[in-house]
Structure 1
Amino acid sequence: MPAVPSSIIEPIWDQFVALIPPIIDTHPLGCHRPRIADRIIFDKLIQVLVLGASYIKISDSTCSATTLRTRWDEWITTGIFHTLEQICLEFYDRIIGLELDNLSVDGCIVKAPCGGEVAGRSPVDRGKQGTKRSLMVDGTGIPIGCVVAGANLHDSPLLRPTLDKLGRFGFDLPEAITVHLDAGYDSKKTRSLLEELGCDGVISTKGELLQAGGRWGVERTNSWHNRGFKKLALCTERRARVVEAFIALANAVIIVRRLIRQAWTSYRWDTRPARRP
């Protein structure tokens, strides 16, 4: 059984393969082993992301762990995963429409047993190593920006770099933007930042009981990250750029899945799945 349904992974692959730069053979004799097909590597990376398996355990006769890591690093260096995520967002915005007038931001702490560049002492796991994802979503929970840092950092300092991710949309932003935040952001510093950026804020008040609001979108997307992608729920990567690439790939899967689900009742296409995903 595939890690991701073919109705979702095939359109992602069609766009992904178009972004792969041409290969220049620099071998002096041109007699090295044939290059492993990109599709095999791509499918292996999807399995690593969804199942959380190590490169060694996911390798087989079609692809070794060394080849998987090498190709993975090549693609990260070209920025292909962030470009893929951006293209998915643009297509979703064109077909369905992003609700950028209502944003939600929240942090999520996961285990990082191997440490690394984005790991720190977790305040909720007896001081063990952990990673924090500061995630921003639109009004319906579509991920539009994420910043990774050590689990020991507070949510508030990560708010500015997270909101700066809106720059990926250029100047096509609503005039009035409301940011929904939980009580961890209830401070003068946060309100001053939102005022500086020209945004309204709906912030839960510290010391009060659980307050319902517009934060359901980011809570649900954090759940999608952790329950649907084991590699994100247990961060075993040590380099920040690798963690960010996995998050970008996971976001691309989430966006395409939501795009197909939303478009299923309004559009028809040749590869439209028989049932709404």
Structure 2
Amino acid sequence: MPVLPSSLIEPIWVQFAALLPEKPTFDARHPLGCHRKRIPNRVVFEHVIDALVHGSGYERIATSRCSDRTIRRRLIEWAELEIATKLHALCLAAFDKMIGLQLGEISADGCITKAPCGGEKAGPSPVDRRKGGLKRSAATEGTGVPLGIVSAGANRHDSPLLEPTLAQTRQQVADLPGGGLPADARVHLDSAYDSGKTRDLLSEHALTGVIARKGVAAPIQAGRRWVVERTHSWMNNFGKLLRCTDRNGDIVDFYLYLAAAIVTVRQLIQRARPLYRWDTRPTTRRLK
């Protein structure tokens, strides 16, 4: 049984395949003119989705069609080409065209997950007895669609990660018809960002900060920060993000943006159900 419904994985694969470079079925550099046949990208992609959803090791999800070494090699290749980042940008463009991104209200926050194997992006977790952990800083639009994502060690504070998160957000929405973030966009932040440096940063980016004040109870000043917290919850449903075992930083970011693309397409399908009709329209309102 597939880990994702076909109505969700098929549109993602179509865009993913369009970004992949053409490769010959057999390696022409082989001295004898023959070699093992190259595993189709679709087969490897399905195994990568299995790893993302379940969070299992590659040895456990490997099958007779695709070995764990093939998965690792293809992941390195795709991560170096930033395929997942480009895929997420295409998904954002499709969402903006069909539904419309609410870029006037941006929410940003960080989330700490486990990274038991360490690696380039891991750091001692302050909430898990200094075990290996990963900090995920994300920005979302008004309804919770992820825009920009940055990974760092779990010991990094949320505030310094805001600048690269906003820069990544601008990069992901740069090709949209509106030209990116509007001039009067507001950024909703919790009290961890309540500092002069954060306000100066937002002023440099021509953004208005709606920042919770330190020492004031959260229910009184909750604002619209809950959408990014819900998005973090959606992304934590992917086992590979909840417990990252990859040490290569590029692969970590690949999985983050692949998950963000899936979340974006899922939201697009759910929001488009009452507005559009298509042949592969899912029969259920809830896409797991």
The amino acid of 1:135's aligned partner reads: A
Q: Which residue of 2 aligns with 1:169?
A: 173
Q: Which residue of 2 aligns with 1:191?
A: 199
Query: CA deviation digits over 1:99-147, x for unaligned, max 9?
Result: 1110001010111111111111111111111110011000000000001
Within the candidate set 139, 142, 147, 2:142 is matched to 139
Q: What is the alpha-carbon distance in structure 2 between the residues aligned to residue 27 and residue 155 of structure 1?
A: 49
| Alpha-carbon offset, residue 275 of structure 1 | 2.5
The amino acid of 1:224's aligned partner reads: W
Q: What is the alpha-carbon distance in structure 2 between the residues aligned to residue 36 and residue 19 of structure 1?
A: 17
| Helix, strand or coil at the partner of 1:202 | strand
| Alpha-carbon offset, residue 153 of structure 1 | 1.0
The question of 1:154 aligning with 2:164 is answered: no
Runs of 5+ in structure 1 lacking a partner?
Answer: none
The amino acid of 1:9's aligned partner reads: I
| Alpha-carbon offset, residue 173 of structure 1 | 2.6
**Maintained 8 Å contact 2:151/2:253:** yes
Q: What is the alpha-carbon distance in structure 2 between the residues aligned to residue 192 and residue 78 of structure 1?
A: 34
- Equivalent positions of 1:41-120 (< 5 A) are 41-120=44-123
The question of 1:23 aligning with 2:27 is answered: no
| Helix, strand or coil at the partner of 1:147 | strand
Q: What is the alpha-carbon distance in structure 1 between the residues aligned to residue 37 and residue 204 of structure 2?
A: 55
Q: What is the alpha-carbon distance in structure 2 between the residues aligned to residue 27 and residue 87 of structure 1?
A: 36
- Equivalent positions of 1:115-130 (< 5 A) are 115-130=118-133
Cα–Cα, structure 1 residues 77 and 167, in superposed 2: closer, same or farther, change >3 Å?
closer
Q: Which residue of 2 aligns with 1:231?
A: 240
Q: What is the alpha-carbon distance in structure 1 between the residues aligned to residue 222 and residue 46 of structure 2?
A: 40
Runs of 5+ in structure 2 lacking a partner?
Answer: none
Using the size of structure 2 for normalisation, the TM-score is 0.93
| Alpha-carbon offset, residue 82 of structure 1 | 1.2
**Maintained 8 Å contact 2:92/2:173:** no
Of 99-108 and 24-33, deviating more is 24-33
Q: What is the alpha-carbon distance in structure 1 between the residues aligned to residue 89 and residue 32 of structure 2?
A: 39
| Alpha-carbon offset, residue 74 of structure 1 | 1.6
Q: Which residue of 2 aligns with 1:200?
A: 208
Within the candidate set 266, 277, 284, 1:268 is matched to 277
Q: Percent identity?
A: 54
Count of residues in correspondence between the two structures: 276
The amino acid of 1:247's aligned partner reads: L
Query: CA deviation digits over 1:138-166, x for unaligned, max 9?
Result: 00000000010111111111111111121
Q: What is the alpha-carbon distance in structure 2 between the residues aligned to residue 97 and residue 77 of structure 1?
A: 30
| Helix, strand or coil at the partner of 1:134 | strand
Of 27-36 and 150-159, deviating more is 27-36
Query: CA deviation digits over 1:190-230, x for unaligned, max 9?
Result: 1111112111111111112123110011000000111x201
Q: What is the alpha-carbon distance in structure 1 between the residues aligned to residue 104 and residue 142 of structure 2?
A: 7
